[in-house]
Amino acid sequence: MKKYAVLHVPEFRLQSVLRYLPEVRKEEPAALMEVQGSKLRVGEVNAAAAACQVQLGMSSTQALARCPVLHMVAANLGHERSAQAALLQTAEVLSPFLESTGPGVVTIELPPERTFSTEDFLGRIVVPLQALGLQAKVGMAGTPDLALLAARRGNPVYIVRNAAAVLSPLPVSVLQPSEELAAVLESWGVRSVAQLVALPMTQVCERLGPEAVELWERARGGRVRPLDLVKPREFFVEEIDLENFVELLETLLFLLRRFLEQLTTRLGNAYLVAGKMRLVLRFEDGSSYQRVFTVPQPTCDVDVLFRILHTHLENFVSESPIVGLELAAKPVRPGAEQFDLLEKGVRDPHQLAETVGRLQALLGPERVGTPQGDASHHPDGFVLHPYEGVEFSDEFDESPLLGVPWLRFRPPVPANIVLNDKRPAFLYSSRTTGPVSDARGPWLLEGDWWESWNWSREEWDIATEDGVYRLVRDGSDWFLDGLYA
């Protein structure tokens, strides 16, 4: 027999914002304000605010008149997405079959061979979510609808063992009928679920239509339906759409630290660590900046992860203020690493990663890394990979190395050459000027002839009083390409 559990976060939108405001304690009254019509009105309230008679639809003035110490917060879509993702990832510890039923509601198809107790749900769902700042309720039943109903009534866990016994005494309103249908049932004197179930289904269908049938089925505990399964996201994401633009590094770092605390708690709940981080900054002018950081030794240590971000952002400059922020962590399993007996490891991989980050901040990310010659025949063709982004090679090329290398001028130095019998005889350039005492060449090279960027060049080694240079002719232009030094 199938079993379902539902995670339900009451006042989900409010909670998803409040979890980033630890200074607002949960026993303090708080309300979520949203634009209704043209006015700002109360959209959701917590229990403390409801106890102060703050009601939905009130204007901010009315709400403050009822409760002067009320915390009013604005809805944030980014926070809601993060909170929903956190719910799904927490639910994954029970089963991989998950449905994101709605905002703040996740339905789980539990493995039928396992039994679950209240303590299981408390320890694996409720407490981890509390650590993330979300007060969740859990319900378990034989159908998704009944499990949702149980979750709404959970304190914080409600396991339904006998559907009829649970449902019968409840009022019809718990089944959430439409206003019109509720009015008809009220006029018939049908007030409890037991009274509704006692009605014959065909008669209900004939008189009240398909909506009533659905309600009648819910009253009997609902039906087993296939879940609309969601694929767990590859990254753990925290994001925010900012009301007040961020212009200072300190503010940005403050937000990132909060995000990291949330992310590491979520990763810890799933027994995972961060292997990579992705930072996305969205600017006022519509542009965005994205950067992926590889964590040298995957970890959940907030300080280590924060240092990686801090080092990178120290020298970051943008033309527009930041209006949105997203930080994602790629989860990996911790600690399953087998070191090579002969490979010399580094003492502190995090320190090394930070140093690489500092070098990139000093020189630019495109100027620091591990070089690899590219597949072309161009003498200066190479690709710069991120450090440790290239697999260490243990198979060395034993073939003899040909030719003495030279140090390149980047960019090449323009030169004027006087030829004598088609060989360089005198050199004029900003680096050196003088007679060419000896020359070897020409070596003719060409490549990529099938592409628009095809190239061909003629190379010479020339000896001057200042040293031995590599000389290149590209078309009719001469350049000093490098120096044997």
Interstrand relation of 137-141 and 157-159 (parallel, antiparallel or unpaired): parallel
- CA angle at residue 213 from 210 to 215, to 5 degrees? 115
Name which of 428, 409, 430, 410 is nearest 418 in CA terms: 428
Q: Is 314 an interacting residue with respect to another protein (CB under 8 A)?
A: no
Q: Is 1 an interacting residue with respect to another protein (CB under 8 A)?
A: no
* Cβ atoms of 81 and 239 closer than 8 Å: yes
Q: Is 341 an interacting residue with respect to another protein (CB under 8 A)?
A: no
Site string (32-61) toward another protein, x via CB under 8 A = ------------------------------
| Rounded-to-integer distance, Cα 302 and Cα 260, Å | 6
Find the binder of another protein among 410, 451, 475, 476 (CB under 8 A). Answer: 410
Name which of 23, 17, 31, 21 is nearest 104 in CA terms: 17
Q: Is 285 an interacting residue with respect to another protein (CB under 8 A)?
A: no
The SS3 of residue 113 is coil
Q: Is 463 an interacting residue with respect to another protein (CB under 8 A)?
A: yes
Find the binder of another protein among 57, 96, 171, 381 (CB under 8 A). Answer: 381
* Cβ atoms of 82 and 239 closer than 8 Å: yes
Q: Which is nearer to another protein, 1 or 404 (CB)?
A: 404
How many residues lie near another protein (CB under 8 A)?
A: 60
Q: Is 229 an interacting residue with respect to another protein (CB under 8 A)?
A: no
| Smallest separation (angstroms) from another protein to the CB of 284 | 32
Q: Which is nearer to another protein, 209 or 364 (CB)?
A: 364
* β-bridge mates for residue 438, sequence order: 463
According to DSSP H, which parts of 154-297 are helical?
Answer: 163-167, 179-188, 193-198, 201-208, 210-219, 249-269
Find the binder of another protein among 344, 430, 453, 476 (CB under 8 A). Answer: 344
Find the binder of another protein among 209, 371, 414, 435 (CB under 8 A). Answer: 371
Single out the segment in contact with another protein by CB under 8 A; choices: 122-130, 250-258, 328-336, 364-372.
Answer: 364-372
Q: Which is nearer to another protein, 184 or 361 (CB)?
A: 361
Q: Is 380 an interacting residue with respect to another protein (CB under 8 A)?
A: yes
Q: Which is nearer to another protein, 73 or 439 (CB)?
A: 439
Neighbours of 290 (CB within 10 A): 10
| Rounded-to-integer distance, Cα 142 and Cα 162, Å | 9
Site residues for another protein, 147-186, by CB under 8 A, read none
Q: Which is nearer to another protein, 38 or 430 (CB)?
A: 430
| Rounded-to-integer distance, Cα 138 and Cα 156, Å | 6
Q: Is 104 an interacting residue with respect to another protein (CB under 8 A)?
A: no
Single out the segment in contact with another protein by CB under 8 A; choices: 74-82, 105-113, 273-281, 406-414.
Answer: 406-414
Find the binder of another protein among 348, 446, 474, 477 (CB under 8 A). Answer: 348
| Rounded-to-integer distance, Cα 178 and Cα 172, Å | 11
Specify the amino acid at residue 48.
Answer: A
Find the binder of another protein among 222, 299, 461, 473 (CB under 8 A). Answer: 461
| Rounded-to-integer distance, Cα 340 and Cα 83, Å | 41
Q: Is 428 an interacting residue with respect to another protein (CB under 8 A)?
A: no
In degrees to the nearest 10, what's the CA dihedral of 24, 27, 29, 33?
A: 60
Residue entry with tokens 């590599």: 470
Q: Is 339 an interacting residue with respect to another protein (CB under 8 A)?
A: no
Q: Is 434 an interacting residue with respect to another protein (CB under 8 A)?
A: no
| Rounded-to-integer distance, Cα 438 and Cα 289, Å | 53
| Rounded-to-integer distance, Cα 363 and Cα 316, Å | 12
At a CB cut-off of 8 Å and minimum separation 6, what does 250 contact?
none
| Rounded-to-integer distance, Cα 99 and Cα 107, Å | 5
Find the binder of another protein among 243, 286, 401, 430 (CB under 8 A). Answer: 401
* Cβ atoms of 94 and 108 closer than 8 Å: yes
| Rounded-to-integer distance, Cα 274 and Cα 335, Å | 11
Q: Running DSSP on this structure, what letter comes out for residue 174?
A: G
Q: Which is nearer to another protein, 24 or 352 (CB)?
A: 352
Q: Is 430 an interacting residue with respect to another protein (CB under 8 A)?
A: no
Q: Which is nearer to another protein, 234 or 395 (CB)?
A: 395
| Smallest separation (angstroms) from another protein to the CB of 459 | 11
The SS3 of residue 15 is helix
Single out the segment in contact with another protein by CB under 8 A; choices: 77-85, 117-125, 399-407, 449-457.
Answer: 399-407
Q: Is 310 an interacting residue with respect to another protein (CB under 8 A)?
A: no
Q: Is 444 an interacting residue with respect to another protein (CB under 8 A)?
A: no
Q: Which helix (H) or strand (E) holds 363?
A: helix 349-363
Q: Is 188 an interacting residue with respect to another protein (CB under 8 A)?
A: no
Q: Running DSSP on this structure, what letter comes out for residue 427?
A: E
Q: Is 408 an interacting residue with respect to another protein (CB under 8 A)?
A: yes
Find the binder of another protein among 400, 422, 452, 476 (CB under 8 A). Answer: 400
Find the binder of another protein among 51, 206, 367, 446 (CB under 8 A). Answer: 367
- Site residues (vs another protein, CB under 8 A): 342-344, 346-349, 351-352, 355-356, 358-359, 362-363, 367-373, 379-382, 384, 387, 390-397, 400-410, 438-440, 461, 463, 465-468, 482-485
